[in-house]
Amino acid sequence: MGYLHEGHATLIRQARQACDVVVLSIFVNPLQFGPKEDLAKYPRDLERDLRVAAGAGVDAVFFPEVETMYPPGFDTRVVVSGVSEPLDGAARPGHFVGVATVVLKLLNLVQPGRVFLGEKDWQQLAVLRRMVTDLNVPVEVVGVPTVRETSGLAMSSRNSYLTAPQKERATVLHRALRSVQAAYAGGERRTLALRQAGLDVLAHEPDAEVEYLEVVGADLLSSDMLEREREDNDPMTRVLVAARMYGVRLIDNLPLDPGATIGAGA
């Protein structure tokens, strides 16, 4: 959605290495914002974005007006059930309908062979993978690991809302996830105990209003959202967190792999 940062530039560079032609879309999509969300103030700087895009190796940039994507009479929505329903789907009703609808339109317009998406938005990545599989969209979805600031904070356009001290406090999300990952690497497999390891870290930051911290399987549904302990988590398990800090909604996630090495740029 624009206001590009190093995470976006990394996506572009990976696409540049893998593909003959790289196309970037920049579109602040109103369909994925709720009525009380930050559509009006979402950061925008097209000239800066174009400089970042050119420097990273983009061949073409598509930045349509809202009326181009949603002309008068537009009345179609894409609903991806199941994987879109928990977590952000519950916290932001209608969000993934907007995401799936605009991405399907973009894929149809550009018809790329591959689409590169950041793993920071892990549930979004899962939703879009399910969509292209279910609808036989001829595109390979490539997930790219989260790019972080040196503090560990996941890069996000919304970080621009935060002051430097606030950004430092916001690293509590990453520290909470690392606490869960450390517990998992240490042999803990009980879902509630893993969650508690992260929640204990978040509890020491009074400015963090936690929406969720969940341990999930590959389908994003096999967690203690079912209110039960699990003795044998899926090998491809993740911990995901969402919290509001200083009026800004932040999300992050980490893999729970006993052999994973989680560094500041992971």
Which residues are catalytic, by number? 8
Q: Is 130 annotated as a binding residue?
A: no
Q: Which two tokens stand for residue 41?
A: 């103030």
DSSP codes of every residue in 112-179? -SEEEEETTSHHHHHHHHHHHHHTT---EEEEEPPPB-TTSPBP-GGGGGS-HHHHHHHTHHHHHHHH
Angle value at C-alpha 94, between 119 and 75, nearest 5 degrees: 115
Q: Is 219 annotated as a binding residue?
A: no
Q: Is 140 annotated as a binding residue?
A: no
Q: Is 6 annotated as a binding residue?
A: yes
Q: Could you tell me if 246 and 207 are in contact, meaning their C-beta atoms sit under 8 angstroms apart?
A: yes
Q: Is 172 annotated as a binding residue?
A: no
Segments in the chain forming alpha helices (H):
6-18, 46-56, 66-69, 88-91, 95-110, 122-134, 164-170, 172-185, 191-202
Q: Is 147 annotated as a binding residue?
A: yes
Q: Is 14 annotated as a binding residue?
A: no
Q: Is 188 annotated as a binding residue?
A: no
Binding-site annotation: residue ranges? 1-8, 32, 118-121, 124, 147, 155-158
Binding residue numbers for ATP: 1-8, 118-121, 147, 155-158
Binding site for (R)-pantoate: which residues?
32, 124
Enumerate the known binding-site residues for beta-alanine. 32
